[in-house]
């Protein structure tokens, strides 16, 4: 195969190179050298983004498998495989991210023997571990089909319903428990974000983001791999997203109201600016956009709404994990460049692995012939070429 | 009976003998440079803070219901019967949830280490178990830091406030905060001035209760949710079966 250096490949190589350097600093000189975390800010973006957002962005897996296998919505079938792939990669990358963040990652298996059932972290850890296993089995048919292993394929398909139920159960638990993690800090976390309802918000936002991420990932791969966009499917997801966003927004409003924060959120303050940004991106703009039928029925409109919504909920989780602590701590936390590079290279690695999987596995089986004969198409999207050549 | 430390800041002269004794007990470096550091760190478990002519110690509060022990996924922290909250380094995986969860921000981390440990005052557990007082209490020349049974120290603290009400803010910090702590504080100025969370802000509810309210529902939630999900599966697929049978019957009927 001819190797062609494109701009995006160059960007990928640069990110990965700097990521490798940062990883070296992390393991050769310690957490203090690689990050701006300190005793006041023991959790930085590796928890705030890599774990909290990573798990949230991988939520599409349990939602789409649930819709197809549990609710029996056959017409969504075509997006199950890419969504499961996204989720499986997402969880694997969360674990990779954890191996950078944990001070003693070589003892991560202690989770299995020194169990503390009173710890939310223990529950999250176990759920993530089991759910990654479930996702592995949900993803396995791709590999089995590729190598034409019919009997094991049949076994996996026979237990698929159980896997899907287990996946939803585990996801419900740990998606909400990521919010429960913060319940023990009522005096530290800013009242804009500390709420007894945090577990519900984390679960609700996971459903919204799972839908938005599925729209995002479908739009992206349709452009990158020259696939036909499943527009009717995305329109349906967009409609569901609108409803879920409304429910989320109403719950947040209720919460602000009952905790007497409505007056405070309108007053300008450091936290209020971040809250406004979060609420605008997560709720106001996507809901406004999706309310127009024209937007909801156009691939670009859906893509735009999904991306803004994703940014909004990422802002939300960073607010919970970083912004919300800054007043209590008394100073700001800004990640060091090496911290960013680790996170960026994990994301870049995710894109590359997705591209590789699509190239070598029957993720989009019914369209293989089209991929083979595809002609050059306009690519309006920046990141798409990364995906396209990721497998080279 | 639980042991405790009573620190009366009005009796403190800021000599930092407790700091030095703590360092010696825990085999930590201590010199003029460390003495001048006014923050706790992985090499300084306790610090004597100075504001004008007032002093205040910071150290692990040894909560009756410690958040650190509750949040640790591997149970690396536990509360001993004698009172100290201690740390088992070999269990720790380094998630630092203890540091985030502690309302008093006491656990510190060895950020520069390649095999980092969480560090904090552990209230000299061997000495306490052997019936001795802690190193800091032993070193204190004025009795500002006093070691004893928690109940006795509470009575003594109440007595001191009653006898000299003008000397003290009328509050024993740690008596009820986060459900009670084994370090009790008396002060002539509000505790917030030295970085302690205000009593009304930190509250009297043991921190682990906030998460247990949710966690305790999980054992009931799992079977319930599993049954619901299974039921949804059954109904949605049953519909398909029924539709197929009905279609077949219809076809059958039409042919006849």
Q: Does B240 touch chain A (CB under 8 A)?
A: yes
Nearest residue on chain B to A101, alpha-carbon basis:
B95
Of B71, B115, B210, the CB nearest to A121: B71
Q: Is the pLDDT of residue A379 over 90?
A: no
Q: State the first-to-last Cα distance of chain B, in angstroms, to the nearest integer.
A: 89
- Token couple for B143: 């009795």
Q: Do A108 and B93 touch (CB under 8 A)?
A: yes
Q: Is the pLDDT of residue B115 over 80?
A: yes
- Closest among A191, A283, A298 to A242, alpha carbons compared: A283
Q: Does A330 touch chain B (CB under 8 A)?
A: no
What's the pLDDT at A258? 95
Q: Do A31 and B214 touch (CB under 8 A)?
A: no
Q: Do B210 and A183 touch (CB under 8 A)?
A: yes
- Token couple for B46: 């306790």
What's the pLDDT at B244? 87
Instruction: Looking at mean pLDDT, say which of A75-84, A239-248, B243-252 comes out highest.
Output: A239-248
Contacts of B89 in chain A (CB under 8 A): none
When pLDDT is averaged across residues A59-75 and rounded to a whole number, the result is: 92
pLDDT tens digits for range B161-204: 999 999 999 999 999 999 999 999 999 999 999 999 999 999 99
Contacts of A28 in chain B (CB under 8 A): 114
Q: Is the pLDDT of residue A370 over 50?
A: no
Between A378 and A316, the more confident residue is: A316
What's the pLDDT at A290? 96
Of B41, B222, B237, the CB nearest to A39: B41
What's the pLDDT at A65? 94
A86 vs A91: CA distance, rounded Å: 9
Q: Is the pLDDT of residue A32 over 70?
A: yes
Q: Do B76 and A32 touch (CB under 8 A)?
A: no
Residue environment code for A177-195, b if the CB has 16+ CB neighbours within 10 A, otherwise e: bbbbbbbbbbbbbbebbbb
Nearest residue on chain A to B67, alpha-carbon basis:
A184
Of B67, B91, B97, the CB nearest to A114: B91
Residue of A95, A100, A121, A203 to mutate for B, most B C-beta atoms under 10 A: A121
Q: Dihedral through CA B73, CA B77, CA B79, CA B84, nearest 10?
A: -160
- Token couple for A74: 């056959």
When pLDDT is averaged across residues B74-103 and rounded to a whole number, the result is: 96
Sheet holding B145-149, edge to edge: B145-149, B3-8, B183-186
Q: Does B140 touch chain A (CB under 8 A)?
A: no
pLDDT class for A8, splitting at 50, 70, 90?
A: confident
Nearest residue on chain B to A126, alpha-carbon basis:
B73
Q: Does B231 touch chain A (CB under 8 A)?
A: no
What's the pLDDT at B205? 95
Nearest residue on chain B to A185, alpha-carbon basis:
B101
DSSP A8: H
What's the pLDDT at B241? 85
In A, residues 60-79, which contact B (CB 8 Å cutoff)? Answer: 66, 69-72
A149 phi/psi in degrees, rounded to 5? -95, 95
When pLDDT is averaged across residues A3-29 and rounded to a whole number, the result is: 91
The region that residue A296 occupies, defined by phi over 0 for left and psi between -120 and 50 for alpha, beta otherwise, is: alpha
The region that residue B37 occupies, defined by phi over 0 for left and psi between -120 and 50 for alpha, beta otherwise, is: beta
What's the pLDDT at A208? 97
What's the pLDDT at A363? 87
What's the pLDDT at A230? 80
Q: Is the pLDDT of residue A157 over 60?
A: yes
pLDDT tens digits for range A330-352: 889 999 999 999 999 999 999 99
Distance from CA of B242 to the nearest CA of A (A): 14
Q: Do B113 and A173 touch (CB under 8 A)?
A: no
Residue of A34, A112, A113, A114 to mutate for B, most B C-beta atoms under 10 A: A114
Partners of B57 in beta bridges: B48
Q: Do B111 and A199 touch (CB under 8 A)?
A: no
Q: Do A184 and B210 touch (CB under 8 A)?
A: yes
Q: Do A37 and B108 touch (CB under 8 A)?
A: no
pLDDT class for B255, splitting at 50, 70, 90?
A: low
What's the pLDDT at A366? 59
The total of other beta-carbon atoms located within 10 Å of residue A108's CB is 18
* Residue A205 near residue A168, CB atoms below 8 Å: no
pLDDT class for B123, splitting at 50, 70, 90?
A: very high
pLDDT tens digits for range B10-63: 999 999 999 999 999 999 999 999 999 999 999 999 999 999 889 999 999 999
Residue of A185, A199, A202 to mutate for B, most B C-beta atoms under 10 A: A185
B182 vs A77: CA distance, rounded Å: 59
Average pLDDT of the residues of chain B: 94
Q: Does B212 touch chain A (CB under 8 A)?
A: yes
Q: Do B93 and A72 touch (CB under 8 A)?
A: no
Q: Do B96 and A122 touch (CB under 8 A)?
A: no
- Residue % of chain A over a pLDDT of 70: 92
State which H helix or E strand residue B222 sits in. helix B218-255
B94 vs A387: CA distance, rounded Å: 35
Q: Does B101 touch chain A (CB under 8 A)?
A: yes
Partners of B55 in beta bridges: B50
What's the pLDDT at B117? 96
pLDDT tens digits for range A227-246: 776 888 999 999 999 999 99
Q: Do A120 and B71 touch (CB under 8 A)?
A: yes
pLDDT class for B251, splitting at 50, 70, 90?
A: confident
């Amino acid at each position: 195969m001819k190797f062609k250096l494109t701009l995006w490949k160059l960007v990928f190589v640069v990110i990965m190179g700097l990521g490798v350097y940062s990883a070296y600093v992390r393991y050769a000189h310690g957490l203090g050298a690689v990050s701006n975390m300190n005793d006041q800010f023991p959790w930085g973006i590796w928890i705030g983004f890599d774990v909290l957002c990573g798990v949230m962005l991988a939520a599409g897996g349990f939602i789409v498998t649930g819709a197809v296998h549990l609710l029996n919505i056959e017409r969504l079938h075509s997006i199950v495989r890419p969504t499961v792939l996204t989720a499986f990669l997402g969880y694997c990358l969360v674990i990779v991210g954890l191996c950078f963040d944990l001070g003693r990652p070589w003892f991560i298996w202690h989770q299995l023997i020194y169990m503390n059932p009173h710890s939310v972290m223990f529950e999250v850890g176990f759920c993530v571990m089991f759910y990654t296993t479930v996702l592995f089995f949900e993803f396995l048919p791709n590999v089995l089909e590729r190598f034409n292993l019919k009997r094991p394929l049949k076994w996996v398909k026979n237990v698929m319903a159980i896997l899907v139920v287990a996946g939803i159960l585990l996801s419900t638990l740990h998606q909400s428990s990521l919010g429960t993690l913060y319940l023990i800090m009522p005096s530290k976390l800013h009242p804009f974000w500390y709420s007894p309802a945090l577990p519900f918000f984390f679960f609700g936002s996971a459903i919204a983001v799972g839908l938005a991420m599925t729209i995002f990932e479908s739009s992206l791969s349709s452009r990158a791999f020259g696939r036909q966009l499943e527009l009717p499917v995305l329109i349906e997801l967009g409609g569901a997203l609108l409803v879920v966003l409304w429910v989320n927004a109403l719950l947040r409003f209720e919460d602000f109201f009952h905790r007497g924060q409505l007056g405070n959120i309108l007053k300008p303050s450091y936290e209020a600016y971040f809250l406004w940004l979060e609420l605008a991106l997560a709720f106001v703009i996507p809901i406004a956009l999706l309310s127009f039928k024209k937007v909801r029925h156009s691939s670009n409109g859906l893509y735009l709404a999904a991306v803004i919504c994703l940014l909004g909920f990422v802002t939300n989780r960073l607010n919970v994990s970083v912004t919300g602590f800054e007043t209590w701590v008394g100073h700001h936390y800004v990640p060091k460049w090496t911290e960013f590079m680790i996170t960026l290279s994990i994301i870049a690695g995710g894109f590359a692995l997705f591209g590789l999987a699509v190239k070598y596995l029957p993720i989009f089986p019914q369209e293989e012939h089209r991929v083979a004969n595809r002609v050059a198409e306009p690519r309006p999207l920046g990141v798409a070429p990364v995906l396209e050549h990721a497998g080279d | 009976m639980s042991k405790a430390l009573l620190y009366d800041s009005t009796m403190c002269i800021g000599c930092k003998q407790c700091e030095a004794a703590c360092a010696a007990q825990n085999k930590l470096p201590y010199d003029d440079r460390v003495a001048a550091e006014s923050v706790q760190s992985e090499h300084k478990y306790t610090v004597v803070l100075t504001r004008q002519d007032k002093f205040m110690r910071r150290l692990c509060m040894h909560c009756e219901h410690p958040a650190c022990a509750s949040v640790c996924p591997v149970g690396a922290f536990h509360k001993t019967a004698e009172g100290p909250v201690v740390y088992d380094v070999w269990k720790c995986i380094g998630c630092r949830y203890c540091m985030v969860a502690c309302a008093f921000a006491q656990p510190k981390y060895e950020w520069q280490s390649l095999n980092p440990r969480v560090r904090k005052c552990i209230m000299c557990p061997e000495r306490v178990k052997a019936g001795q007082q802690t190193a800091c209490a032993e070193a204190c020349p004025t009795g500002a830091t006093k070691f004893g049974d928690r109940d006795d120290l509470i009575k003594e603290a109440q007595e001191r406030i009653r006898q000299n009400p003008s000397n003290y803010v009328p509050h024993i910090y740690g008596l009820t905060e986060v459900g009670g702590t084994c370090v009790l504080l008396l002060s002539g100025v509000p505790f917030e001035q030295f970085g302690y969370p205000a009593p009304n802000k930190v509250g009297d509810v043991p921190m682990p209760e906030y998460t247990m309210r949710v966690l305790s529902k999980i054992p009931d939630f799992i079977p319930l949710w599993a049954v619901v999900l299974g039921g949804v599966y059954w109904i949605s697929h049953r519909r398909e079966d029924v539709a197929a049978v009905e279609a077949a019957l219809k076809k059958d009927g039409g042919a006849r």
